[in-house]
A and B are shown apart, each in its own frame.
Chain A
Amino acid sequence: MALSDIAEQLDQADPSLARYNRQMLWAPIGIEGQKKLKAAKVLLVGCGALGTVLGNLLARAGVGQLTIVDRDFIEITNLQRQVLFDHDDIEQNLPKSVAAQKKIARINPEVSVEAVVTDVNHSNIEQLAAGKDLLLDGTDNFETRFLINDVSIKHNIPWIYGACISAMGLAMNVLPGETPCLRCIFETMPPPGMNPTCDTAGVLGPTVSVVSSWQAMEAMKLLTGNRADLSPFLFSFDMWDNRFQQLNVKRAREVADCPCCKHRQFEYLSGKFASATTSLCGRNAVQISLGTSTRVAFEQVAANLRNVGKASFNKFMLKCPIVEGEGERRREYELTLFADGRAIIKGTNEAGIARALYSKYVGA
């Protein structure tokens, strides 16, 4: 279709679509694609760095229904990269998903946003994903990603993986039955503490934007019915090193003996590998046990935590003080990590907060 024809059609189109004019001028979207976006239901899991960019782009693009789920509150150290939040949200002590909902209502009131404040786990993720056209990864930990992967494959709902740290990022489309799934690429997660996290090694705003913009673009292709244009690659980059790669993973489904998409064993969804949290009554502490047995390398964890607090360890356990927030919102915690990956977080009775701290500073 010639551009002039599209422009003419847009003039006669539903006036409620006017705000999407520049997007509809792009022929593969057009008016029909825009209507498909409006009819789309998307679950955004995690509303931190990746999640806020995803929510911002997709709300502006006119995705009809967004369910945003997150367990966390906003801190001053989030503002450097979490684009939907500002100082007022911190003042009001809003949960991330609620602050995102309020901000999106001011950006595009036509988008229906459901804000859910919860820790996504094997007992609630199927309900959250039910009826959705797409699941988007805005999480900060492996366990939730493997859960999303299980739900996606089990219920045949596409998802888009994205992850980043410092200046590097990874992203990939998972189309059940068509592409490799995340466990075809990374079958297991690293033991806790082995890998640095954004809260121990840092992360730069542009890194986040590139990963989540890639995810958002793929989401728009998928939701407008342009599936043939989706990337079949694992997108990998390091912007500080000036490296951008499209890694060939097409054959991973054949080569990997994948427990999830080949054998349909949904080990994370079944709870087999789920971490468990127990509030330790009267101690203002929460215990976290992992679903997998492992050995933690304390030297590595202590090195990862060197910019967080002074970690001390012996053969049996590692202790590290963690301070979050400032002023009235300053909170002091103490992490005690055992050699099998189990941890006790002192300073809270809330499982969600403890699990978030574990993901951020130990990483699993």
Chain B
Amino acid sequence: MPVKVRIPTPLRTLTNGVDIVELSGGTVGGLLNELSGKFAGMDKRLFKQPGELNRFVNVYVNDEDIRFLENLDTPIKDGDDVSIVPAIAGG
């Protein structure tokens, strides 16, 4: 089931400004790996190493932190809202 993932502004420099990417779903980890495969540099922004997110990026499914769910193994179903929330510094 394809899932639309919104790319947060700080990561759009990597997607040439594209704000929504359609990915094939499965699990959160699967989605993020697929996203990393599509855009150069995305892998480094999201992952510290394969299977481990950087500690300055959080992912939420339906407003729940995936760390409280099944982390990267959290399954994604049709209609789920996936948010990538990177730490931002401005102010």
Q: Write the residues of chain A forming the contact surface with B, with a CB cutoff of 8 angstroms.
A: 46, 48-51, 137-142, 145, 162-170, 185-190, 194-198, 201, 203, 208, 211, 234, 236, 238, 240-241, 243, 245-249, 251-252, 255-256, 297, 299-300, 303-304, 359, 363-364
Check B67 for interface membership: any CB of A closer than 8 A. yes
Residues of A contacting B26 with CB < 8 Å? Answer: none
Task: Decide yes or no: A245 and B63 within 8 Å by CB, A165-B10, A201-B9 being known contacts.
Answer: yes
Report the nearest A residue to B41, measured CB to CB: A300
Check B88 for interface membership: any CB of A closer than 8 A. yes
State the Cβ distance, A168 to closest chain B Cβ, in Å: 5
10 additional contacts, CB 8 Å, given A140-B89, A141-B89, A185-B58?
A140-B91, A145-B89, A165-B89, A187-B56, A189-B87, A190-B54, A247-B85, A248-B64, A248-B65, A251-B65
Check B83 for interface membership: any CB of A closer than 8 A. yes
Residues of A contacting B64 with CB < 8 Å? Answer: 248
Residues of B contacting A197 with CB < 8 Å? Answer: 89-90
Is B91 touching A247 in the complex (CB atoms < 8 A)? no
- A-B pair count, CB < 8 Å, reads 121
Is A190 touching B91 in the complex (CB atoms < 8 A)? no
Is A167 touching B9 in the complex (CB atoms < 8 A)? yes
State the Cβ distance, A206 to closest chain B Cβ, in Å: 14
Q: Say what secondary structure dominates the interface of chain A.
A: mixed
CB-contact partner of B67 in A142, A167, A252, A299, under 8 A: A252
Task: Decide yes or no: A238 and B91 within 8 Å by CB, A247-B60, A300-B41, A304-B13 being known contacts.
Answer: no
Check B6 for interface membership: any CB of A closer than 8 A. yes
Residues of A contacting B41 with CB < 8 Å? Answer: 297, 299-300
Residues of B contacting A51 with CB < 8 Å? Answer: 91
Is B89 touching A248 in the complex (CB atoms < 8 A)? no
Is A303 touching B65 in the complex (CB atoms < 8 A)? no
Residues of A contacting B90 with CB < 8 Å? Answer: 49, 140, 163-165, 197-198, 203
Check B8 for interface membership: any CB of A closer than 8 A. yes
State the Cβ distance, A185 to closest chain B Cβ, in Å: 7
Give complex CA distance A12, B79 in Å: 57
Q: Write the residues of chain B forming the contact surface with A, with a CB cutoff of 8 angstroms.
A: 6, 8-10, 13, 19, 41, 44-45, 54-56, 58, 60, 63-65, 67-68, 83, 85-91
CB-contact partner of B83 in A48, A164, A245, under 8 A: A245
Is A137 touching B67 in the complex (CB atoms < 8 A)? no
Residues of B contacting A208 with CB < 8 Å? Answer: 91
Give complex CA distance A197, B13 in Å: 12
Residues of B contacting A246 with CB < 8 Å? Answer: 63
Is A241 touching B19 in the complex (CB atoms < 8 A)? yes
What are 19 A-B interface contacts by the 8 Å CB criterion? Answer: A51-B91, A163-B91, A164-B88, A165-B10, A165-B90, A190-B56, A195-B88, A195-B89, A198-B90, A236-B85, A241-B19, A245-B60, A251-B67, A252-B65, A252-B67, A252-B68, A255-B68, A297-B41, A303-B13
Residues of B contacting A303 with CB < 8 Å? Answer: 13
CB-contact partner of A363 in B9, B83, B89, under 8 A: B89
Is A255 touching B67 in the complex (CB atoms < 8 A)? yes
Give complex CA distance A208, B60 in Å: 23
Give complex CA distance A16, B45 in Å: 54
Give complex CA distance A187, B10 in Å: 18
Report the nearest A residue to B85, measured CB to CB: A236
Report the nearest B residue to A51, measured CB to CB: B91
User: Which are the 4 A-B pairs with shortest beta-carbon distances?
Assistant: A187-B55, A198-B90, A165-B90, A186-B87
Residues of A contacting B19 with CB < 8 Å? Answer: 241
Is A201 touching B10 in the complex (CB atoms < 8 A)? yes
Is B88 touching A168 in the complex (CB atoms < 8 A)? yes
State the Cβ distance, A146 to closest chain B Cβ, in Å: 10
State the Cβ distance, B37 to closest chain A Cβ, in Å: 18
Residues of B contacting A190 with CB < 8 Å? Answer: 54, 56, 86-87
Is B91 touching A50 in the complex (CB atoms < 8 A)? yes
Give complex CA distance A39, B56 in Å: 37
State the Cβ distance, A87 to closest chain B Cβ, in Å: 23
Give complex CA distance A190, B86 in Å: 9
Residues of B contacting A46 with CB < 8 Å? Answer: 91
